[in-house]
Amino acid sequence: MSTLLITFERLHQFAQEVFEAIGCAEAEARTAADALLSADLRGVDSHGVARLSGYVRLWENGRVNPRPNIRIVHETPSTAVVDGDSGLGLVVAPFAMQIAIQKAAQVGTGWVSVCNSNHYGIAGYHAMQALGHDMIGLSMTNASPLVAPTFSMERLLGTNPIAVAIPAGQEPPFVADLATTTAANGKLEILQRKGASAPQGWIQDAQGHSTTDPTATTRGGALLPLGGDREHGSHKGYALGAVVDIFSALLSGANYGPWVPPFVAFLPVAPDLPGKGIGHFFGAMRIDAFRPSSEFKQHMDQWIRRFRSARPVEGQERVLIPGDPERETEAERRLQGIPLEASVAEDLEKLGGKLGVAFT
């Protein structure tokens, strides 16, 4: 596959201008571009600028409100529910995470459940907003149904990711960001494009049988919860995905389970929805609400160094700390630029043409 290298700054400017072109205010367009592009920087190419046209199509279908009145609809000292007013998740999520951080500053922790939102990019980006405040950040979201719970023929859950960002001292922060499935949907899309097989335990076909055909999910098949099958603990991945769904949507009044609206604009939204939009859940915990931050960070450094220096198994160089690969990719891409597949570059060029935004 041929790829094009483009600087982060240039790509960011383009994305921001696209968001402005669909009617976002300048500051919100910048916020959305920050969140979206963090995926490209961190190497999660499936969730970054490759989805920009998808967001625009949602706007074209009237499912994204470019000038939302995002507001708190209920709160206590440590909690809030935010209504995203159908805004871009890329804008609603940073708003909600800031509230979690403010509440943590006041009473130790802050927890915000969000309804009436849209897809928010990568979970890790939002959790990481807490790091600069000497806080632990948590972020999760539900998503369109693609995953079959253990023993289910039907798709009832999204890939429902969980992210946890934890500051360290001299070491870089610990950043876990994981879909609650065996494999992320983005990895499946890569296999689909290559015409390659998927490993056993990633997907089932429309009859509920395990399959290695990555296209099965486009014909009624499903992704499998982390664990793959019952014997390997898929009921645990299912339970985790369910918790994400409940915290994100049932606490806030968003749609849940099979009723979560699809990301792609060509699929219809189900009738008689039980809630509003899709849901997210954010948390922030001040480190010094538990113990002095310097003490905590010294032990985080020791934790990280002990794990990183563990004896690796044959054929592996070292044990990784969650967040290591993404951080290394980000450092590289900030210097060298972000690689875009030719098909993505073409799509962006077309999108720019349509909206009157120059791509290069």
Name which of residues 88 to 117 contact a copy of itself (CB under 8 A): 107-109, 111, 113
* Contact flag: residue 248 with a copy of itself (CB under 8 A): no
Q: Among residues 66 and 257, whose Cβ is nearest to a copy of itself?
A: 257
Minimum distance of a copy of itself from residue 217's CB (angstroms): 16
Q: Among residues 194 and 318, whose Cβ is nearest to a copy of itself?
A: 318
Minimum distance of a copy of itself from residue 258's CB (angstroms): 7
DSSP label of 261: P
Q: Tokens 């921001």 correspond to what residue?
A: 16
Rg of the chain on CA atoms, in Å: 20
In the structure encoding, which two tokens stand for residue 254, read together? 């968003």
Choose the binding region for a copy of itself from 6-14, 89-97, 246-254, 347-355 (rule: CB under 8 A): 246-254
Q: What are phi and psi of 210, to 5 degrees?
A: -60, 140
* Contact flag: residue 274 with a copy of itself (CB under 8 A): yes
What binding mask, one character per residue, do residues 172-201 give for a copy of itself by CB under 8 A, x or -?
--x-x-xxxxxx---------------x-x
Footprint of a copy of itself on 306-335 (CB under 8 A): 306-307, 310-314, 316, 318-320, 322
Q: Give one word for 228, left, alpha or beta, with left for phi > 0 and alpha for psi -120 to 50.
A: left
Q: At what angle are helices 8-21 and 52-60 packed, to 10 degrees?
A: 0
Residues in binding contact with a copy of itself, number by CB under 8 A: 85
The residue count for the chain: 360
CA distance 314 to 107: 48
Footprint of a copy of itself on 198-237 (CB under 8 A): 199, 201-202, 204, 207-209, 226-228, 231-233, 235-237
Q: Give one word for 318, left, alpha or beta, with left for phi > 0 and alpha for psi -120 to 50.
A: beta
Tell me the residue type at 339: P
Choose the binding region for a copy of itself from 40-48, 60-68, 126-134, 244-252 (rule: CB under 8 A): 244-252
